Structure 1
């Protein structure tokens, strides 16, 4: 299975990232060693770039589970890179290194991603002085530490994009075969070296000593052909499992199962998501087996302990019963023993015990052994040998053993209960598995509807209400999406968003107009000012015009309203719920009555003192608790009203 990108993979991937140039940088996240950089390209949808040091770099459409409290390094990247403009993306000398250059006013920063070995991510100043690395490292030829100048690692081979025939001969001269020679000395890896051999019609095991000038010419042609090949990205599978990704069709892999993608970035995104999912599932299975073995081992120990308790209880009961049955014989022996010991001492007792049982006196015949220092004696009874404390009577010894028996029986009940609980735990683990100990694999994002580019909600009657986010989207709302069957609304405040109800052939109801007016108000400055109410007017589309009166000028994104305006005074209030569409659950923010019509629950919000980010975090936790799924905090920030607020719990 291929686990990282080759130099050629990186080159082709970067060629598709032109749209990122000029993008403004947003937040940076780290998810288990993988970095997610968010970008806002001019006039395009937001893009997200994945960088996993040592392995990959590409755009992603996957939904990553981002941490609520980012580690220190991504926070440092946020501090330096947020609101900077991405101006360059380079791959120096076709190495497995990517440099992203950012500018902010007159300052320039470089983020260097090393995609070889264990990898690294290094933030540098314009002069390449290291501000901070993800991982500090030191070798004899260079140091990756704050304050040091960043230096490239020593070159390990020729640059395949500019290799001459003499370079090729030199690269292969000391190698056992051509495929290993190219893999090592052109820094391209085995699969690409094999493809060059296949395109040159040369067996990969061929010794360089056997190559003719014509063969070297064919190898050079194959390399040129690869570098200029038309991109046709694909993932290669083996028994439905992804094992490789390639930027175009490989002759060496022509008989293998493949999946073709529109872009190489998309192929990379899907491939790494699939193997991440496989890796997560594999680790899950390993954890399951480890957990099962741990619980099975505990169960076996518990069963062995129960057997020991049962054996001990039976033996104790047997001894106690035997003592009760033979109490006269035992008391006679004990009384004689104590009497002789008191009058003549232990020497006389021991002398008698040392005789054979047949020649002993009657009281000593059943004694097997005696430990004076411990106060114990073992007497052989017909039922079983018993151990007694010779300082006490047979009744007292039997009572002690009966108490031990009862205690053992109690422990047996506890052991049986523990076994039942362990067996239940074992069944639950087999049925449900174990909880993952790491972040889940990223999931593919749903395809967003066109209107999610704007502020939006659905009225109680299901009509779409949209509003602009900025000057550009405000202009699009009016000039691109407003139609004759719609209605136009605007809060009577400067800078309020253009709002449109997307109507149908039938007349738009007063209840929908009122909900749209509340929607227009909640996204205006009235919310930020903490007002209780706001005035909103509505007109027909034909009343909205870009034509200014003679001698006047309309700024970009501004419009004139002809004729009479219809005013409403509406309260400043909002709610968030979950709108279910085609099996997908989408967070939606709008007037409470509208949200209540489409969601099983709603969370009410009003203008207030709490920061928007704090409100969003609380709403995220509530929604996740109610839906049982991950909620994107950024998505909530996008749909909430501007400014601070307060939840109505």
Structure 2
């Protein structure tokens, strides 16, 4: 069962969330790894944007009761951002990173690994973060410059020549070469190869130029597919949520939605409900 959004998912949700640009930040709530930003959108009213570090970003109708005592991170975000306008929302390259420019500040949602939510100023200096961390090549702490993780190739704008060089330089299976070097993950690598009719276990450096060109063209096709948000089910259990329809899930039961936010909200909302049920059962058993 899918637990977090992919780079492809983020591409599509950011395109959709651009409709929020110009909205006013009314209030911010923080609970665990999640923040919820209550926005006022002109002509539409209230919208709630949820960001869960390391996992997801979308509009939500699952409004959890706010913690009785706001965290220090909540208070800081409210102090800096309340009343300001959401100027822009962007995905950084093809990474699982979303930048929300709010007034003169930027709220960065890192949606990879454990994830983080970081507030920086106009000079790219960190004001605060959900969690403070130190890595080999960057430090997430106040008063440090915010540095992005090392970049990988972006399949949305990679040229044919650069793509050819990146793939032919690898002595691994083509499915692994695509998933890793082009930051798309295993599912979309499998989908591209399925559409191209190329066996996924073939060595990347042993493909013919014709086969590789077909893979390149199918990759561009997949990442420019029209939006068709859906949840995929197996035996009545949701197993995936997607912005587009994939041949990989041909024959599976699907539920389609008007927006990707609605699909994500239903999918992850159900996970939260199921988790809450398990937690309640565990507490009863422990008594």
TM-score normalized by the length of structure 1: 0.43
Once residues 209 and 150 of structure 1 are traced to their aligned partners in structure 2, the CA distance between those partners, rounded to angstroms, is 37
* C-alpha deviation, 1:282, in angstroms: 3.3
2:229 paired with 1:225: no
* C-alpha deviation, 1:166, in angstroms: 3.2
2:149 paired with 1:153: yes
**C-alpha root-mean-square deviation of aligned residues, in Å?**
1.5
Residue equivalent to 2:38: 38
Once residues 288 and 214 of structure 1 are traced to their aligned partners in structure 2, the CA distance between those partners, rounded to angstroms, is 61
SS of alignment partner, residue 236 of structure 1: strand
Once residues 157 and 224 of structure 2 are traced to their aligned partners in structure 1, the CA distance between those partners, rounded to angstroms, is 13
Once residues 196 and 181 of structure 1 are traced to their aligned partners in structure 2, the CA distance between those partners, rounded to angstroms, is 12
The answer to whether the 8 Å contact 2:171/2:205 transfers is no
Once residues 123 and 210 of structure 1 are traced to their aligned partners in structure 2, the CA distance between those partners, rounded to angstroms, is 46
For residues 630-641 of structure 1, the aligned pairs below 5 Å read none
Residue equivalent to 1:603: none
For residues 362-401 of structure 1, the aligned pairs below 5 Å read none
For residues 214-613 of structure 1, the aligned pairs below 5 Å read 214-288=210-284, 291=286
Residue equivalent to 1:526: none
Residue equivalent to 2:134: 138
Residue equivalent to 1:185: 181
Residue equivalent to 2:162: 167
Once residues 10 and 124 of structure 2 are traced to their aligned partners in structure 1, the CA distance between those partners, rounded to angstroms, is 22
Residue equivalent to 1:67: 67
| Cα 1:210/1:59, change in 2 over 3 Å | same
* C-alpha deviation, 1:176, in angstroms: 2.2
Residue equivalent to 2:203: 207
Deviations 1:455-502 (Å, cap 9, x if unpaired)?
A: xxxxxxxxxxxxxxxxxxxxxxxxxxxxxxxxxxxxxxxxxxxxxxxx
Residue equivalent to 2:113: 117
SS of alignment partner, residue 240 of structure 2: strand
Aligned residues: 286
* C-alpha deviation, 1:285, in angstroms: 4.2
Once residues 271 and 171 of structure 2 are traced to their aligned partners in structure 1, the CA distance between those partners, rounded to angstroms, is 33
* C-alpha deviation, 1:12, in angstroms: 0.4
Once residues 283 and 180 of structure 2 are traced to their aligned partners in structure 1, the CA distance between those partners, rounded to angstroms, is 37
The answer to whether the 8 Å contact 2:116/2:129 transfers is yes
TM-score normalized by the length of structure 2: 0.95
The answer to whether the 8 Å contact 1:53/1:114 transfers is yes
SS of alignment partner, residue 126 of structure 1: coil
Q: What 5-or-longer segments of structure 2 have no aligned partner?
A: none
Q: What 5-or-longer segments of structure 1 have no aligned partner?
A: 292-433, 435-649
Residue equivalent to 2:125: 129
SS of alignment partner, residue 190 of structure 1: helix
SS of alignment partner, residue 279 of structure 1: helix
| Cα 1:199/1:130, change in 2 over 3 Å | same
The answer to whether the 8 Å contact 2:170/2:205 transfers is no
Deviations 1:194-223 (Å, cap 9, x if unpaired)?
A: 111111111222221331111111111111
Which structure has the bigger radius of gyration?
A: 1
* C-alpha deviation, 1:175, in angstroms: 4.1
Once residues 98 and 187 of structure 1 are traced to their aligned partners in structure 2, the CA distance between those partners, rounded to angstroms, is 15
The answer to whether the 8 Å contact 1:86/1:101 transfers is yes
Residue equivalent to 1:50: 50
Residue equivalent to 1:99: 99
Once residues 216 and 288 of structure 1 are traced to their aligned partners in structure 2, the CA distance between those partners, rounded to angstroms, is 57
Residue equivalent to 2:23: 23
| Cα 1:237/1:146, change in 2 over 3 Å | same
* C-alpha deviation, 1:288, in angstroms: 4.8
Deviations 1:81-100 (Å, cap 9, x if unpaired)?
A: 00001111111212111111
The answer to whether the 8 Å contact 1:195/1:252 transfers is yes
2:172 paired with 1:176: yes
SS of alignment partner, residue 8 of structure 1: helix
The answer to whether the 8 Å contact 2:108/2:118 transfers is yes
The answer to whether the 8 Å contact 1:19/1:41 transfers is no
Q: RCO greater where, 1 or 2, for CA within 8 Å and sep 6 or more?
A: 2
* C-alpha deviation, 1:34, in angstroms: 1.0
